[in-house]
Amino acid sequence: MPGMQATTYSNHKSYIFNSYTIIVILLAFGKIMAGFFNFSAPVDIDVRFNGEENRKLVEVKIDKDRREKFPLYFDGETVAGRVTIRPRDGKKLEHQGIKIEFVGNIELFYDRGNHYEFTALVQELAVPGEMRQPQYFDFEFKNVEKPYESYHGINVKLRRLTDIVNEKDIWVYSYRMPPDSNSSIKMEVGIEDCLHIEFEYNKSRYHLKDVIVGKIYFLLVRIKIRYMELSIIRRETTGAAPNQYNESETITKFEIMDGAPVRGETIPIRLFLGGFELTPTFRDVNKKFSTRYYLNLVLVDEENRRYFKQQEITIYRRRVDDGLPAED
């Protein structure tokens, strides 16, 4: 019978940012470029997406006290819009070309010097020349493949990109169904001759608006238990062995039993997921990171000893929850 364990977590911060960005790059001569590095370029650059005013926005928690909104796109959807470049004060701007890039990349805190690109598309907007008046450039990245859902990890890091004059992030949702079977979870755990419990959850895969239903059965109780709690833990894993790092975050925790149980007692579980900021489960994204979810069952006895058992669950996103037609 599997035993119950003590809780341990890594303290290493494993910031992850999986993003898609529209980048406008203006290739200029030395004096102008120096201005870019000092953030005082004599131009204003604006990027607008087609239909931006009617597009759904996704609000994302960037850090503890800051949230930002990004326009939502889907895999295979065209990303198009217009770039406006306005020289300031009527000054002549000489350039060696203007291009726009659609970039999907992964940033990891422990490897802060590198951005791992998994998508990179480029369009030339203008050949070398000069401008004094505002100019407009239309762009279109047609039917862009976006293989991964956007994701922002636990910790925040300033993104520093040289030569880039203007950038604008979009957010991507993915509706790929997990390959796992969706059978119920049933397992007997405990401490030999002291505590035997059997926990059961109604299934192993849950969508973001789902309800976790389960039961805890007490088969043997020879220790004095004070209370029992259930939590959802999100664990981020970055890198590869031997340089692999884990970061665990408790999404929610609540008490499901108060007082000492007796043999044969049953504790029901009903947990609504819709009220929490969850993402789908990500496994080995571009061989750089994974994000997994666990149900963590904890029992605390009268001597404050904690006994726990974790069980991984798979979380996925449904089209209908975002107002889209259900898949056939």
Mean pLDDT of the residues in the chain: 81
Q: Report the candidate in 269, 262, 277, 318 with the shortest Cα–Cα distance to residue 295.
A: 269
pLDDT of residue 26: 66
Q: Which of the residue ranges 151-160, 237-246, 298-307 would you say has the lowest mean pLDDT?
A: 151-160
CA angle 274, 184, 287 (to 5 degrees): 70
CA angle 154, 158, 162 (to 5 degrees): 140
Residue 192: pLDDT band with limits 50, 70, 90: confident
Given the DSSP bridges, would you call strands 79-87 and 115-126 parallel, antiparallel or unpaired? unpaired
pLDDT of residue 159: 33
Residue 85 CA to residue 195 CA, distance in Å, equals 70
Residue 21 CA to residue 31 CA, distance in Å, equals 27
pLDDT of residue 158: 27
Res 252 pLDDT > 50? yes
Q: Which range, 145-149, 163-167, 257-261, is most confident? A: 145-149
Structure pTM?
0.81
pLDDT of residue 111: 67
pLDDT of residue 56: 92
Res 326 pLDDT > 60? yes
Q: Which two tokens stand for residue 85?
A: 């470049």
129/3: higher pLDDT: 129
Res 263 pLDDT > 80? yes
Q: Report the candidate in 286, 282, 293 with the shortest Cα–Cα distance to residue 176.
A: 282
Percentage of the chain lying above the pLDDT 90 cut = 35
Write out pLDDT tens, residues 19-33. 878 777 766 543 333
Write out pLDDT tens, residues 75-127. 999 999 999 998 888 788 888 888 998 988 888 776 666 678 888 899 999 99
Domains, the chain, in order of start with CATH, read: 16-173 (2.60.40.640), 185-322 (2.60.40.640)
Write out pLDDT tens, residues 32-64. 333 332 334 578 889 999 999 999 999 988 777
